Structure 1
Amino acid sequence: MNQVFRTREINAHTVVQGNENLVNVAYRDPASSLPPATVGIVTALTEEYDAVKVMFGGMTPYPVPGDPTAYATGYVPSRDPDRSHLVVATVLPEGGNDIAATVCTNLSRSFPSMKCVLFAGIAAGIPNLERPGQHVRLGDVVVPWAIIDYDHVDVRPEGTQVRPGFPEPSPRMTAAVNRLLAHDRAGQHPWEPWLDTTRRPELARFRRPDDRTDVLYASDESGRVLKHPRRKDSGHRRGVPKVHRGNIGSADRSLRDASVRDELARRHDLRAVEMEIKGLGRAGFLNGLEWYVVRGISDYGDSRTTPLWRNYASLAAAAFTLALLGECDPFDSGHGRDARWATTGGCP
């Protein structure tokens, strides 16, 4: 009498085969079924995540068994016209540096081919009326010279000093930003056409607010409205973001005090402050990943912060991130499968 031989898939990694006399358990290599993604895009808010997905286009949900993080995968152009970046995007379950570090670790474990992780999202900008060229306005984009972990300090009798040693930003992304900023100075702004929300109905909710809503208040909480520097002095063109490069402050603080903002900016020469990149940058470094951050400016870190500019700032960060990847040489996944995946037109 022939015995029935059955196969049962327990989960994505485990298959049981056998009959009443024989049982065989087979384990699949989880990495063998994953796309060789090399770039991770991390966001903190749903607005940021939605902006990345709509800007990058064609991203497909990609659940990973055993990983609680939700991912979406897709292809974006690289500097090499014959090779695209395969990116994985995700959103944090909640904001903060500890959560960012955890998600970065999950990302590197679930996608062993990962080489670089970027954070794309919003931040508070630092206005500077005394130095118009360094004046940051709502809707602008800020990329880092360095990250200042301003709560990671040595406290001594002679004063408080930030402890050194934060990992350097990705050399490859830094080189790509150098090229983009050279284009910018030459009057070429490849990210700007992607911010034209009139061409794409799906971008309607990311439309840039009226510039008259970009109101700057005095730091003394008097309610006094300050005038922005003249555009010809600050280098701002009407209706589009200016891209700044400078120090970005990161800590576990949601900053809503303009006087504290100004003191931090004075002490550390900051252009923006945020809450996730110190966790993501350190976790990326410890997991052998390069890291980078692109921030769109949604507020001034004061008590009058509103969500009005949040969507546009998210879109500005996503657009510059897309331009950055387009100027960046592709990473080698190390899997030897890049060509096969590149011809599929997407993830299976």
Structure 2
Amino acid sequence: MSSSQQEGFASSCASLYTMVSHNALDSPESYTIAWITALPIERAAAEAMLDEEHRAPTGFTRHQTDSNVYTWGRVGEHNIVIAALASGVYGTTSAATTASGLLASLPSIRIGLLVGIGGGVARPDQDQDIRLGDIVVSQPCDTTGGVCQYDFIKAKSGGKCERKGFLGRPPAVLLNALTSIQARHERKDSDVPYLLQVMLESNPKMGKRTKKNPGYAHQGFDNDRLFKASCDYIPGPDCQGCDTAGEVYRDPRDTADPDIHYGTIASGNTLVKDASTRDSIVADLGKDFICFEMEAAGLMNHFPCLVIRGICDYADSHKNDRWQRYASATAAAYSKELLAYVPVAEVQETKRALDTAR
């Protein structure tokens, strides 16, 4: 994309971002895609990606079992409803509750996106060079549908562990979109950097940095440090006291633009923030995980969706909150770009999520 095209793209997006509709669509059935987040910062990034925001649709009635609060809007040609887990209540059960309430109130929903942050499994020596701010996307591989529940296992003889049960795959319409966007990215750069730029221009507060809030912009290469599993965290800001001898050297990147990785995401109710635990889970299940997170396993068999995560830490003791907002934004920007490859007609032809839940 030439510089003039980039400017035109950014200008076009900027005008879209400022479009806030005070109208309501005629029916809740106009909404066919649900976008679920866990944290307020993830929801903020999702809402910043809307091309148009709506009021609640005419005739919408919340089901008695539904306690969700919704944001309604449009991304490209798709009408989207955004929901988030209850504040401070995380994990697979909370995610399942959110999805259940959503589908009870909005039976017209066909597909979903679970978008937010996660802990990356970086193995640069094995060609798995995941960095903070990168994007990971669940993609079926071998016997997994793209997500594996790591805390649902059984012990076997010889000290080995085996996964119990299987999680569903994303719907075909989203897998076809993955094929299309991956092919596009073989030829052209991702639109994510431009979408982030427009987001910050249209929402200046998201770009401001304070001591408590580092903002939704890239946090700087100096603040992206990967340590060996044997290197313990020494309390202090930005790992200043951690042993530099335990830091893993990685070739510098020539751009701050996030890379996109596709593979198996590990999901469970336990927050993984210890490198030894992280590596033990990976070894026990024998999967080349690219990310750890805490909600997807509660959805995959009951809510057909794709999982998209921005990497905010390395699932080790060195994790901190600095990269969470930027990682939320990169995941949201990729989700917006992906939706351009999802045909509206194919979504309409897809079975309702209620009918495919197992």
Please state which band the TM-score falls in when normalised by the shorter chain.
0.7 to 0.9
> Cα distance, 1:305 vs. partner?
1.1
Is it true that 1:312 corresponds to 2:358 in the alignment?
no
In the aligned structure 2, how far is the partner of 1:255 from the partner of 1:61? 38
> Cα distance, 1:185 vs. partner?
2.2
Deviations 1:220-272 (A, max 9, x none): 134334234214xxxx5521110000110001111110111122234321100
> Cα distance, 1:176 vs. partner?
1.0
1:170 corresponds in structure 2 to 171
In the aligned structure 2, how far is the partner of 1:177 from the partner of 1:123? 20
Paired-residue identity, %: 26
> Cα distance, 1:144 vs. partner?
1.2
Rg: which structure is higher? 1
Structure 1 counterpart SS, 2:326? helix
Equivalent position amino acid for 2:137 in 1: V
The match for 2:125 among 105, 114, 130 is: 130
1:293 corresponds in structure 2 to 307
Contact 1:124 1:301 (C-alpha < 8 Å) held by counterparts: yes
Length, aligned pairs only:
288
Q: 1:70 to 1:156 in 2, by over 3 A?
A: same
Q: 1:198 to 1:332 in 2, by over 3 A?
A: closer
The match for 1:262 among 274, 279, 287 is: 279
The match for 1:51 among 40, 45, 58 is: 45
> Cα distance, 1:210 vs. partner?
1.1
Is it true that 1:199 corresponds to 2:189 in the alignment?
no
> Cα distance, 1:170 vs. partner?
2.1
Q: Say which structure is richer in helix.
A: 2
> Cα distance, 1:59 vs. partner?
2.5
Contact 1:141 1:241 (C-alpha < 8 Å) held by counterparts: yes
In the aligned structure 1, how far is the partner of 2:154 from the partner of 2:118? 26
Deviations 1:12-35 (A, max 9, x none): xxxxxxxxxxxxxxxxxxxx9524
Contact 1:73 1:88 (C-alpha < 8 Å) held by counterparts: yes
The match for 1:242 among 238, 242, 259 is: 259
5+ long unaligned stretches in structure 2: 1-25, 140-145, 208-214, 233-241, 351-358
In the aligned structure 2, how far is the partner of 1:97 from the partner of 1:259? 23
Is it true that 1:85 corresponds to 2:78 in the alignment?
yes
2:297 corresponds in structure 1 to 278
> Cα distance, 1:190 vs. partner?
1.8
1:151 corresponds in structure 2 to 151
Contact 2:42 2:329 (C-alpha < 8 Å) held by counterparts: yes
Equivalent position amino acid for 1:258 in 2: A
Is it true that 1:39 corresponds to 2:40 in the alignment?
no
Contact 1:36 1:333 (C-alpha < 8 Å) held by counterparts: no
1:80 corresponds in structure 2 to none
Equivalent position amino acid for 1:128 in 2: R
Equivalent position amino acid for 1:172 in 2: V
> Cα distance, 1:277 vs. partner?
0.3
Q: 1:176 to 1:237 in 2, by over 3 A?
A: farther
Q: 1:198 to 1:47 in 2, by over 3 A?
A: closer
5+ long unaligned stretches in structure 1: 1-31, 78-83, 285-289, 335-348
Contact 1:41 1:119 (C-alpha < 8 Å) held by counterparts: yes
In the aligned structure 2, how far is the partner of 1:322 from the partner of 1:315? 11
Contact 2:121 2:290 (C-alpha < 8 Å) held by counterparts: yes
Counterparts of residues 107-122 of structure 1 (less than 5 Å): 107-122=102-117
Deviations 1:291-317 (A, max 9, x none): 111100001111121110000000000
In the aligned structure 2, how far is the partner of 1:58 from the partner of 1:325? 15
CA RMSD of aligned residues (A): 2.1
Deviations 1:34-55 (A, max 9, x none): 2421100000000000000012
Is it true that 1:211 corresponds to 2:224 in the alignment?
no
Contact 1:241 1:316 (C-alpha < 8 Å) held by counterparts: yes
TM-score, normalised via structure 1 length: 0.77
In the aligned structure 2, how far is the partner of 1:184 from the partner of 1:33? 36
> Cα distance, 1:130 vs. partner?
1.5
Equivalent position amino acid for 2:85 in 1: L
Structure 2 counterpart SS, 1:216? coil
TM-score, normalised via structure 2 length: 0.75
Deviations 1:131-171 (A, max 9, x none): 2x312110000001211111112322242111242101222
Structure 2 counterpart SS, 1:73? strand
1:186 corresponds in structure 2 to 187
Is it true that 1:70 corresponds to 2:44 in the alignment?
no
Equivalent position amino acid for 2:271 in 1: S
